[in-house]
Every structure is written in C-alpha cells, then in structure tokens.
Structure 1
C-alpha cells in the first residue's frame, strides 16, 4: 500500500501539531524552534512558490546546504510540489563533482546556502538546465537568476490566494511510488550513480527503524551533526523523528565549515539531546575530548579512569551478557567508578543522552566498549543508500557489541554465495536484502540497476554472516568502495584508471580505504620503462611518489579527483596481478577482495610511520629486485 512523505508529515501534524519539530540557532543568535504545523504550512507555501515559478511534477530540484530549518522546509516544499529533490553534499568542491550531478539529473532549480552559492556562481555557465538559484540565507549581493527563499514563499502566497486548487491537485497527485530523491553517492567524479528513492522507500525505512528501536519518545531531541544529505541522517534523523513527533536541531550556524564544527560543543549544551547519530570519526573525536578532559585532572585521575574502563569492559562483556555470571562480582566496582567518573562525563557531555546510533561505516569495537562503559552506549548499525539506508542495527533492547545488530522488521535478508544461493547460519557470503526499503534503481542507468537488483534482491556488495541469534556481522566489501573514517564513500575506479593511463611507470593500481584517515595504494610497475630512467631504488621511489603527487594541488592532474581519495601512501608489489595468481578474473578485471586478502600485511604496514614513507625499507627492497 505504501505512504508518501507528505502523508507522514500530515499524520504527525494531526498528532503533534503544536510540538516543536525543528530547532535552529542562526548566526550569532540563540536557538528558536518551529512546530510541526509551522513546518507543514511553510513547506506548502514554498511548494506553491515553486509551482508559480514553473516547476512541474517530476522536475528535479537540487539542494546544497549545511543543516538548517530551510533545508527541511526546502525538501518538503520540493516534495509537496510533486518534484524530486537532489540533495548534494557540501563536501563537493570541484567543478566536475558538482556540474556532473546537476547536469546528469537535469536539475531545473538549485537551493543553496550562503556558503554554497559562492561555489556555484563561477560555474553557472556549465549548468545549462538550471533556470533559477534559490538562496536559503540572506546575503548582500544577488546575481541574475537568483531569488531568496522567502520571496519564493511570497509567490506561493499569491498562488494560494488565487488558485489554491492548482496547489492542492499537485500535492494530491504525489503517490507512494513517486520518485522523491536522487541521491548521488559513491562513484568516480566522472560517473557517480544516482540512487532513486521513492516516497515509500523513505517512509517504509523510517517506520522500520522506529519499530526496531521500540519507538522514539516524542519528547526526544537530537542534534543532527551529520551532513543532512547523507542517507543515514536523512532517514534516521529527519524522517524517523518526524514519524514520532520528536524534534531535531541543526548545529549553530557559522560563517565557515570550521566555525560550524567549533559550534558543536555549545550546541550540545543548548539542545541537551536524548539521542545522537554518529559516524566513527565523530565518535573518535568525542572520545578524544572526553579523555583529554580527564587528563587535565592529573596523572592519578587519568590512571584511575583507565582502570575504571577496564573494570567496566569486563563487566559489560558484549552487552547482551552484561553483569552475568562471575561478572556480577564487579558491580560494586562499576558503581564506584561510575560515581567517580562516568556519571560526571554524562552530565557534562549531555545529561539527557541515552544512547548513540552508529552508522555510515563500521565502528571499531573498542569505541563501542568505551561508550558502553561510560553509560552512553553506541549501538552500531549497518546500511547503504540503496536500502534507504538502514538494514540492521543494535538497539537498547537487543545488542551485541561487535555486531551490526538485528535486521529491520518487514525485510528479508539472505547471506548468499556467488550465485545468490542461501548459505547456512554462520557461513560468510554476500549480504542480500529484499523489502520496501530497496531503491527504485539508478537514475538513467538500467544496466547498473539490473546488476544490483536481481529478482527483487538488493546485492549489497558487502560480505557478512548471521549468527544463531540473528545478529548480522559485516566483514568487508565485495565491491571496491573506498570508505573514509567519517563514513563517506567513493568508487576508486576512475582514479585507478587515470593513474594507470597517465603514468608510464605504473601498470596496475588498487586503492584501499576501509575507514582510515587516508587512502593507500598497491602498485605494480613497468620495470623496463623505469629502468630507462634510473636504476637507483631511492630515485625510483621518488619518481613513483611524484606520479601520484600530480593529482594534488599544483600537479598536472590537479582537480580531477577530490584530494582525500588520492593515495597518501603506497606499497610496490613485485608480482603483477594476473589470472595465474588468481588476482585477475577472466574478463581481465582485478579481483580486489583477493588482492586485499593477499596483501593484508602490506596494507597494514602503510598505516605505520615507516610504511607511509614513499622510500620505506619495503619499497626500496622491492625496487632493488625489480631494477
């Protein structure tokens, strides 16, 4: 049957109309809130304004902004107008990154914040389908083709006064299966995929998540620190909280990304959230700040705090067996350390905090144990944008540290072999899911859609297994996506192909990043060509480092790809990847998961101070053999 996001909002307005939904602190101001009823009214005004400006049902409207009230009002307005929202990451920097997504989606209008319109203005001539730019913030200068968000709502008021039926008919025409969103996530900058999510995809997954968590109380508040275009924050934050009548807050506004980041602590104090969504990098930062605060109290306090953590780790076990058996003997000690340290940390961090939900990338079990010990558990989840995105999560009621939790209700899951045949409990294979949260497909890419959705089953490309209790363990990727430590994902093929095509010395290139601070590379070389240049290993290592540096600032290939995905360290592999050694398949494609397995030690070495050097002892030894 299904439901639209418009109907989800209508249900919440009928139940929670006068309750606050959105909290915002504009630049230099304190937090204020607007209610569910306010949100619905403003969204309809904006929708009417878009219709007045000529937006048709099914048109694509892009949205690029930091988190703020107008982000939500903008998206809801787009959806009420029967149009499709194309949310873009504020981390997109290069012209190629931005123009591809806007042009590929045939976007007709763009909603942009003050910081983001500054990026867009120099490239407007490269965006032929865009008719107008809608400014979400008050700024001093307005260029041709730009209009303020409030001015669009005023146009909406005029249309509602003269032809309300036109607006009502457009809203009524939106169906559960209507396309709501095209989300561009992983992919090379030249060819990212646009994930198509329907209204029902979002509502279905939000309702799955709420039921899985056994409800979110309507008095709950969250501070949505994650990027709002990120599918995790989008569904688990905006729409799951909307479903329950709870409220969300944006981080206090700043004039730059760094200033917004610095505003997180004071925003936490002001909002005092009950629940936070986190990615590994954010969790690690929270831990670092907590521990540095304890360290300032002196060596004795810090030593006792560390001892308290050890006791709590032993007492908590894997969460589900907390305090059981002989662990029960540790309860008095745990209470002692809680009074001494942990309760004070909770009070200073956010006295309302009950738990975190971790997503975006797999959270290190040590971080899970740390937050469990201090009394603010971080329940790991798993998902991907193609699944709207939540597939599984630990919860207060049922959790095992180290797992990705139990799967969402009203969704089938299978661990499959290479041919998608089901495997027994405990056996490792590809994670496959089927249900109302599976995407409609990839925008303008039926081939990729057919490869990814087979007989209704979504092939996640991730390896994992289910234990006897139904907990999912995610082991790694069959797909080759790079995943940074903040959960952002990127497909490496474009960079790899470019390096191999542009460098006469590099024959094969495999990039790797599994939630690490930087990307690494495994390289095989054309030794004969390199020999013509030098027979000195140190010089050869410097030449190879120089080839990769061409993709950084000032290099010949500067701007082709985001810097964060260019390898910061590399290991030279002596034996080429081939069919003979099983690292290349019959279609001559490198089988990456096998490369990662075979060279696991080398990949680990690249994250050591010695291994990160281009002229590491390892690389020089391999080059000595090659030259």
Structure 2
C-alpha cells in the first residue's frame, strides 16, 4: 500500500487525471502489482497487456485505449519500443519496472524516446515518497480524496480480449465487478487466510488478475512469481524450480500447463520402469475408478476392486510424485482459460492434486462457475457463483428447460460495464443488464453448468445446421493420447474435417511397439486411433453426421508465433483457418477426403523419417 501511494503521488504530480488510461506490459512481479495499485490509487485506469502479444499487435491496443503512459520490463522493452514507433501517439511516457534503469534508458533513447519520457519505477517511488513527506505537503490528502471520490462504477481495468474469433475488444471492469467476483471466489472455495501460491499464469490474464491479485489481497494470500530473468525460455525452465521453492497451497493453471505436467509425470514414471511404473499406472487407473465422476459415488463393487491398487500407490508413490512436482503442501489447483479435458481432471484427482475446472469470461470478471472441493463433477464447469443469475436461452428467445443446450446469459454485479469505445459490440453483448456470453451450455440435473462450446465457433453444414466442435474434439482426445492439438472444422460444407498436431514422443513409442515401418502404415494406425472414441464408453457421444470424414496432420504444432493459439493456449480458430486454408480446402477434394492421403503420408514421412 505504501509503495502504491508513493507511485500514485508521482503520477498525480505529473499531471495525470482521473480516468486516464495507462498500459502495463510485463512479467508478474511485486513491481507490476504496486504499479497497478498505484494507478488505481491515482484514479487512473490500468490496461494490462499480454507479454505474448506480437509487436504488431500492441499499437492497436495503445491507440484504441488512448494510453498516456506505459509500464514495462527489461524483457519486454525492445518489443514496446518497436510498437511505439508505429503507435499514433508520440507522447506516451515509459515507466521502467526493473532495476537496470540506465540500460533501459539507453535503449529507449536509441529508439527515439527522449529522457523526459522515460522514468525508472524506483525513481518514481522515491519522488512520490518525497512529495508525501515534504513539510506542509497536501499530497496525502489529495490521495485520500481520490479514494473517497471513487465509485463502484468507476473503471479499474480495460482488458483486451485475446481475439479467438475476431479483433480484440477492450473490456471495462469496475470496482464492483472485481469486488463481487473476489468475494464469490472466497465463498465458493471457502478460502481461509494466509494460503500461498506461485503465479504461473500471466498477470494480465483475467483469471490470474482477479484470483491471483485481488482475491489474494482480500485473504492475505502470499504471492510468488516465476523468475523471468533471461526471457521466455528461462522462465519456462524456472517453473518447476520455483514450484518446489514456493511449496504452494494451491495453483491457478490452464489446460496447456497442467497437460504438460501430466505428460512429464507419466514420462518420468515410464523412465523409472519396473515395479514403480506398474504401481503408479495401476494406481492412477484404480483412483479413476474409485473417484468416478467426482460427484456420483461409484458402486461398492467398483470401489472394492479399486481399493488395494489405489491406496498402495497413494502410500508408496503418489505423495513423492506430488512433492517432486508441486511441493508437499499442495491442496488443489483451479483450471481456467479453456475447457479442461476429463482425462486431466481424472488423472490429477487420482494423484491427489485435483484440478477444479471453472468457467468464466473476462466480461464477467471472470468467474461464472467453478468446481470446488466440496462439490465437483468431472466434465462439468461446476456450480454457479452465488451472486449471479444464469439463464440458458434458446434462439427463439425462450429460456431452455434443464438439460437443454442454449446460450449462457449472466446477470449480476460481476458483469462488465461495456466495451471501451465500442457501443455496437456493447449493445450486442449487454441486453437489459445481462451479459449474453456467446457460449453454449446447459445446466444438468445436479445444478452443474456444462459448457459445450462457443456459438461463433460452431460447425455449419451446407444446409445451415450447426454443431459444437468442442464436443467432438473432447470425444476424440478422450480416447487417444497421440493427438496433441485438434481443430474440427466445417464451414457450409457437406461434411466435417479436422486438423491435428501429434504428440511425437507417443507416436514414436507406438512406431516401435507396433513395428510400423512405413508412413502409410503409420497413417492407418493414426486413423484407427482418431476414431477410437466411437467404441469408447467414456467418450462423449457425437452425432454421426458431424464426425470428421477425414483429418489432416499438421507439420508442426499450432503456436503463438503465427497467432494460431493465444496467450492462454486456446486455439484461435479463425486464424488457423487462414494459416492452414490450403489443408482445409484439400480436405474437400477427392484425394483429401480420406485420411490416408498423399499429403498426410508425406508429412508423416518427414516427421518420423519413414519411407
């Protein structure tokens, strides 16, 4: 609080006015938090930006938000300076959050940012403290007056959407939005004081922002940040080290991160081999049977059969695995950002480090529902936050009966104020005070919300009939470990197709174990794996007409570099359809309408060095 007020004092003295916007682009750190709290204390609005943005994506956000200043770090400064060359405003001032201020100043000057536009954060704090402590100063009174004049409808942040279906929009979240959502999270998880967590997610991420920063403030949660010195690759290497150092009570995660944890745990057990691997794998399988779906208790016979292998593994192996990966204090993880597949939920619950899937939107600050320790069901998005009202609306404007899929519509204090400088989009999303999410789902008989997909991402047949691709994707990935990423596609065509990237390590394993010697034979094996969900009782049932007629194998994984996934590792469907238009078009040719085709064989031959 003291540092936030010092920064606010400097901002006020610099002439910044209430309601003006300031961008932040940097890795999570105490300075990042003090910076945002300082903006709030000065009556300004924070515009948190993703560190994963490309240079060319930044100017739009700066110009659209009308940012007057920009807080950034060592790792991000070169990208920020390049973006400022393109941005319309040439008066944006930089506040540098790291300690190597002279390095930053020199680099800024070489890029045309003069000395009067560059200030070190530590320098700003020192000047702010002097302003507050100066004899006869009224600065402390000014800051108190700003806080006193603050209204619950005042905007705290403008958060830009990651744009999975189109151009980004600036979501205005208010003090009431954050207050409501923070207290919902506390009530749902019954959070006590003094938990601790390592913030793995980017702090601009809405989920990390609300739960990681503001909820932590309310419940005195100790926050630790991943060591980002050395840039992106070094940061990834530091995550497992920092996890053990911090020994978190709980973690916030997204499917891409938890999926990577799962793969590494399984690989480590397979590397050990022998009795340890057998106890681990049989224990996980037994734990999955023991837990059932997390809500409906399995039969006595099922639990009896699972008891010995499950509790043997818990006693001998699971505790050591958890401690090695997460530390020995982990109670649970909370998953957000994208739908978490059931396999991950079952795996981590059996291991004893459950991941509770939630659902939310930045427009809802963001938590709408969550599975919680006392009430959860795998495959669902959990129970609704207590302060909000949720309706499931049909296309004809009527409310859907229980169990029937429709658009998720939310009313409550967590609903955004609107989209900044975008009245048309605001009018489309906010109708009579309710947020029309654009997501499809239903509420089941046990009051769990089940999210099935995004309306704008729907498959559309040539006759106009629509279907959710996420349901098909989940069914497919439930039944095979060989597919790393998948996007099912149909845009007014006779049939659906899919693009997939492969888990190369697992594919190489089946090449060896099955004695596969040609790319064509591998393609046939992958085709069988892809359609295994049809006979898998655990997989979601998919209408036959929507099952992809063929899939094309990508030469490399979808990634942030070409914009095909966003900062939370969600697939950006419209971007994938642009980047891989040729493969999608190929799927509707005679040759490409079957999976065992020339392009797939060529790709597999290149990936796995097969004839």
- Decide which of 148, 151, 168 is 2:123's aligned counterpart: 151
Q: Are the aligned partners of 2:199 and 2:251 in contact in 1 as well (CA < 8 Å)?
A: yes
Match of 2:585 in 1: 572
Match of 2:371 in 1: 394
Match of 2:322 in 1: 346
Match of 2:239 in 1: 264
Match of 2:179 in 1: 203
- Decide which of 37, 41, 44 is 1:76's aligned counterpart: 37
- Decide which of 309, 314, 317 is 2:292's aligned counterpart: 317
Report the Cα offset of residue 378 of structure 1: 0.7
Report the Cα offset of residue 611 of structure 1: 7.3
Q: Secondary structure at the match of 1:395?
A: coil
C-alpha spacing 1:361/1:191, structure 2 compared with 1 (3 Å): closer
2:357 corresponds to 1:380: yes
Q: Are the aligned partners of 1:521 and 1:567 in contact in 2 as well (CA < 8 Å)?
A: no
2:463 corresponds to 1:450: no
Deviations 1:387-421 (A, max 9, x none): 10100000001001111100000100011101442
Report the Cα offset of residue 262 of structure 1: 0.5
Match of 2:64 in 1: 104
Match of 2:307 in 1: 331
- Structure 1: which 5+ residue stretches go unaligned? 1-39, 483-510, 526-544, 554-560, 577-601, 617-627
Q: Are the aligned partners of 2:279 and 2:317 in contact in 1 as well (CA < 8 Å)?
A: no
CA distance in structure 2 between the aligned counterparts of 1:236 and 1:421, rounded to whole angstroms: 34
CA distance in structure 1 between the aligned counterparts of 2:440 and 2:420, rounded to whole angstroms: 26
TM-score, L = length of structure 2: 0.75
CA distance in structure 2 between the aligned counterparts of 1:77 and 1:565, rounded to whole angstroms: 42
C-alpha spacing 1:524/1:565, structure 2 compared with 1 (3 Å): closer
Report the Cα offset of residue 67 of structure 1: 0.8
2:270 corresponds to 1:295: yes
Q: Secondary structure at the match of 1:462?
A: strand
CA distance in structure 2 between the aligned counterparts of 1:303 and 1:566, rounded to whole angstroms: 45
Matches for 1:55-134 after TM superposition, within 5 Å: 55-95=16-56, 97-129=57-89, 130-134=91-95
**Larger CA deviation: 371-380 vs 241-250:** 241-250
CA distance in structure 1 between the aligned counterparts of 2:38 and 2:601, rounded to whole angstroms: 51
Deviations 1:203-227 (A, max 9, x none): 110111110112x222311111001
Match of 1:532 in 2: none
CA distance in structure 1 between the aligned counterparts of 2:274 and 2:119, rounded to whole angstroms: 58
Report the Cα offset of residue 199 of structure 1: 1.3
Match of 2:449 in 1: 472
Q: Secondary structure at the match of 1:103?
A: helix
Q: Are the aligned partners of 2:276 and 2:317 in contact in 1 as well (CA < 8 Å)?
A: no
Deviations 1:167-220 (A, max 9, x none): 222222221110111001133899421001011111110111110112x22231
Match of 2:215 in 1: 240
Q: Secondary structure at the match of 2:76?
A: helix
Report the Cα offset of residue 331 of structure 1: 2.7
Count of paired positions: 492
Matches for 1:140-539 after TM superposition, within 5 Å: 140-141=102-103, 142=105, 143=109, 144=114, 145-160=117-132, 161=134, 162-164=137-139, 165-187=141-163, 191-214=167-190, 216-322=191-297, 325-329=300-304, 330-349=306-325, 350-480=327-457, 517=485
CA-atom RMSD in angstroms: 3.3
Report the Cα offset of residue 123 of structure 1: 3.4
Match of 1:43 in 2: 4
**Larger CA deviation: 434-443 vs 119-128:** 119-128
Deviations 1:578-619 (A, max 9, x none): xxxxxxxxxxxxxxxxxxxxxxxx99x88x998767999xxx
C-alpha spacing 1:224/1:552, structure 2 compared with 1 (3 Å): closer
Q: Secondary structure at the match of 1:240?
A: helix
CA distance in structure 2 between the aligned counterparts of 1:481 and 1:60, rounded to whole angstroms: 36
Report the Cα offset of residue 565 of structure 1: 7.8
Q: Are the aligned partners of 2:99 and 2:122 in contact in 1 as well (CA < 8 Å)?
A: no
Q: Are the aligned partners of 1:182 and 1:196 in contact in 2 as well (CA < 8 Å)?
A: yes
C-alpha spacing 1:566/1:68, structure 2 compared with 1 (3 Å): farther
Q: Secondary structure at the match of 2:156?
A: strand
CA distance in structure 1 between the aligned counterparts of 2:575 and 2:95, rounded to whole angstroms: 29
Q: Are the aligned partners of 1:518 and 1:568 in contact in 2 as well (CA < 8 Å)?
A: no
